[in-house]
Chains A and B, each alone.
Chain A
C-alpha cells in the first residue's frame, strides 16, 4: 500500500508530503540511534519526537513516511526540513501502540 492510501484509510493528518512510495513495514521508536540502525527500508516510522533531527534520520533510513503520534505536531524546523527534503510527515492522535495497530490493519504489514 502507498502512503497516500494509508493517509486516506487511517485518517492521519498530513503536515508535509513526499514521494508516494509503497509501505513494506513499520518501526516504532524515539531514540534516533536505534532507528537508524534498526528501522527497515520503506517502513512507516512511528514516533513522538518532533525536532529537526527526525528529518535527517528519516532521510538516512529511507522510510516511506513518519507518523507523529499522540497529537504531536512537527516543530517549525522539522516542518521546513521535511518540506525541503520531500518527506511525508503525518500525524495521529492515538498513542504509538494504537497507531501501530492501525498501520498494521490498514497496510497489512
Chain B
C-alpha cells in the first residue's frame, strides 16, 4: 500500500519550535485533500504528543506514516518514562511544573486529548528508559 513517511526531531525544552511537526503533518494532510475534521483530529493528537515530549522528555522523535485511509504516528522519547499510565491518562492529572503551567500547559488534558482524538492509542513506557506513544487516526 502506498505510504508517505515523515520524520521529525522534536527539540526538547524549546517551546519556540514546539508544534513544528504537527503543523507540518497538518499541512501535508491538507494538501492531500484529507477532510478538515480528520486533519484537525490528527493535529490535536500529535500536537499534544509533541508538547509532552518537550515538557517531560527533553524532546525525541516523531514519525508519521500516511496511508490513503489513515495516519500512524509514533512519538519516541528517551525521557523519564511514565510510572503509572492509568493515572497519567486521568483528565486533570499533571506533573507539569509551575513554570510550564504559566506557559498555558499542564492542564492534565494532554493524554486524554490524544486518546479522544485518535482511533487507537498505545503507550509503551519504561521508567528511566523512555516512552513510545502510538497514535492511529482513521480518515
**Which A residues have a C-beta under 8 Å from some C-beta of B?**
30-34, 36-37, 41, 49, 51-54, 56-57, 59-62, 77, 81
Contact = CB atoms under 8 A, between A and B. Distances in A.
Contacts of A37: 44, 109, 113, 116-117
Interface in B3-31: 15-16, 18-19, 22-23, 26
A61 B116 CA distance: 16
Interface of B: 15-16, 18-19, 22-23, 26, 36, 40, 43-44, 47-48, 51, 103-105, 107, 109-110, 113, 116-117
A54 B36 CA distance: 21
Contacts of B109: 31, 33-34, 37
Main secondary structure of the interface of A (DSSP, over half): helix
A53 B36 CA distance: 22
Contacts of B36: 41
Contact of A77 (B16, B51, B107, B116): B16
B100 to A, nearest CB: 10
A72 to B, nearest CB: 13
Given A60-B23, A60-B26, A33 B18 contact: no
Given A51-B103, A53-B18, A33 B113 contact: yes
